[in-house]
Structure 1
Amino acid sequence: MTRLHFAHANGFPAGSYRQLFEYLPDTWHIEAIDKIGHNPQFPVSRGWPFLIKELEHYLESHFDAPVYGVGHSFGGLLTYLTACHRPDLFKGVIMLDPPVVTGLMRHVAKAVRLTPFFDKITPAGKAAVRCTRWPKDTDLVQYFKQRGLFRHISEDIVGDYVASAIASNEDEHILAFDHQTEAEIFRTVPLNLPAYYNKFTVPGKLVTAEHSDVVKPSMVKQFIHKNGLLHTEFKGAGHMFPLEQPGETAKLIQRTIDNWEHG
């Protein structure tokens, strides 16, 4: 049996990816932490050491054998870091447009992180002040469709996001995860990736989006080389391609895993 754990992007609970999961084979055992970083036993801190522990703990308690780790954005980088710490838990890792900060940008980010400007050049600032409550009569699917990240995502998938990210009562709709935790995850992104280059020992693939505003070719060239990664560019899409094109993303994941299994 093929065992797969999927790690979500920051601010997009695992239920947002329902359609992507449905495109994957029914025979696969697929698991996902619903909201990474929200278990008080594993707090968010610089470099994400406790989030790594959270993923380790989940894999140990939900699978009886090594898994293929797949993650989008934050989830892709977290899966990579966890595989570096515990390669015994993984058969392979697929990273979908992860926020890899290397080279000169790493040094710039380390300096800027000490200032309030870091919130302006990362999504942390917007996450910290995002709306968290809406009147009961708000059409939340249309509300989010008007936001840039959701522009090219179908209404059905935006509906999946709303169902997984929003709680409702008789008076209002409320964000169902902590937006300050979301901001802290952005603020504490690991900037020490060279320390991991000799620790990644499982098969790995990096998938970058052709029109990504998060991952640039110059940022990942060294990362690919130092980790011995396969690399694929997802054409005609931006950073949110796993939600914009779930069917094509699922095909890419399945082809990669099939090649590792049988190639």
Structure 2
Amino acid sequence: MFQPIHFTHANGIPAGSYAKFFQAFDAKYKIKAIPVLGMSAQFPVTYTWSHLVSQVIQDIEQQFPNQQVIGLGHSFGSLVTLMAAYQRPDLFSQLVIMDPPFVIGPKSAIFEGMQKLRLKAVDKITPAAITLKRNDCWQSFDEAYVALRHNRLFKNFDQECFDDYFAHGIQADEQRGGVTLSIPKHVEAHIFRTVPAWWWRTPRKAPNMPVHLITADQSHFYKQGLPQGMKKTYGIEFSVVNGGHMFPLEQPEVTAQCVQKIINLQAVKKGDS
């Protein structure tokens, strides 16, 4: 009997980019993922990400009918999965969230107010402004490959993971000619600027299932103390691996082994094994 895992990808990184990470899981796991989150007119990117959460819930119900899944996500995807678990705990047996962009602490209420007022400062506080300044058009696939391979975001990617990202993340640009991003940078920026910040006024506890967070020693979220804050406020334990925020694509096989170890430990604690 396989164990179902539902995965949700990071912002701007299509799920196909994680193929090597998925392949490193034991055969007893069956992993399904939404190919691209945030690109459906039926589930638009809005304040609080409510439609994106609904998309994850619907996909779980369709991919794994009448089953509880192990919720697994990276960055933006891990936060959407966590939100889905709060809304529909009956769908999940446990969660493993990898470096979520969790907005907590005394400044979260101020940030939420800025979002409601749609202040331009939100773009400067989040990665939205940098995202919008990125080049998103190249004359050819070869030019895009060279430019992106040396980009700060991708330079530490495992080679196969980068090739998979390139295969799914770059496409022909029908309007401008050449090639462009499969997930437009304005969509990626909008996701950044609408990251939920209302956690300061929610029930301060984890959803009713085992939850574990994985972060990395070079992640800016870890350096800012966000996993530590989640443990203190929500009781969510965390582990630290080597690498940066994109560690599942920098060390896919090591990360897969870490995730499986956590899944097994959580199952034992829950009494599922």
TM-score, length basis structure 2 = 0.89
CA positional deviation for 1:199: 6.3
1:75-94, aligned counterparts within 5 Å?
Answer: 75-94=77-96
Report the alpha carbon displacement of residue 198 of structure 1 after superposing the two structures with TM. Answer: 4.3
Give 1:72's aligned residue. 74
Cα distance, 1:67 vs structure 2? 0.4
1:192 aligns with 2:198: yes
Q: Describe the superposition over 1:92-149 as per-residue Cα deviations: whole angstroms up to 9, x where unpaired.
A: 1111111011112313423554422221221111223433321126343321121111
CA contact (8 A) 2:158 2:251 kept: no
Total equivalences in the alignment:
262
Select the residue among 245, 248, 253 that pairs with 2:251: 245
- What code does the residue aligned with 2:73 have? G
Task: Tell me the CA shift for residue 28 of structure 1.
Answer: 1.2
CA distance in 2, matches of 1:217, 1:177: 28
Residues in 1 aligned to 2:25 and 2:143: alpha-carbon distance in whole angstroms: 30
State which drifts further: 190-199 or 143-152: 190-199
Matched with 2:25 is 24
Task: Give the Cα–Cα distance (whole angstroms) in 2 for the partners of residues 162 and 32 of structure 1.
Answer: 18
Matches within 5 A, 1:155-234: 155-168=159-172, 172-194=178-200, 195-198=202-205, 200-216=207-223, 218-234=225-241
Alignment RMSD (CA, Å):
2.0
Equivalence for 1:135: 139
In structure 1, distance between residues paired with 2:33 and 2:264: 20
User: Is the partner of 1:214 in helix, strand or coil?
Assistant: helix
Number of the residue aligned with 2:262: 256
Contact 2:221/2:227, CA 8 A, preserved across alignment = no
CA distance in 2, matches of 1:2, 1:46: 33
Letter in 2 for 1:41: Q
8 Å Cα contact 1:84-1:196 kept in structure 2: no
Partner of 1:123: 127
Match of 1:63 in 2: 64
Secondary structure of the residue that 2:107 maps to in structure 1?
Answer: helix
State the secondary structure of the residue aligned to 1:156: helix
Q: Give the aligned partner of residue 45 of structure 2.
A: 44
Decide whether the 8 Å contact of 2:112 with 2:198 is kept in 1: no
- TM-score with structure 1 setting the length: 0.92
Which aligned pairs between 1:90-129 and structure 2 lie closer than 5 A? 90-113=92-115, 114-129=118-133
Give 1:202 shift: 0.9
Q: Is the 8 A contact 1:141 1:158 kept in 2?
A: no
Give the distance between the partners of 1:209 and 1:108, measured in 2 at CA: 27
- AA in 2 matched with 1:36: L
**Conserved? CA contact 2:34–2:59, under 8 Å:** yes
Distance 1:161 1:261, change over 3 A: same
- Matches of 1:191 and 1:100, distance apart in 2: 8
Question: Do the aligned residues in 2 keep the contact of 1:36 with 1:51 (CA within 8 Å)?
Answer: yes
What is the Cα deviation at residue 34 of structure 1? 0.9
CA contact (8 A) 1:204 1:228 kept: no
Residues in 1 aligned to 2:155 and 2:58: alpha-carbon distance in whole angstroms:
35
| Preserved CA contact (<8 Å) 1:99 1:215 | no
Aligned partner of 1:74: which letter? Answer: F
Which amino acid in 2 is paired with 1:179? Answer: K
Shift of 1:39: 1.1
Cα–Cα, structure 1 residues 151 and 229, in superposed 2: closer, same or farther, change >3 Å? same
User: What is the CA-CA distance between 1:260 and the residue it aligns to?
Assistant: 2.4
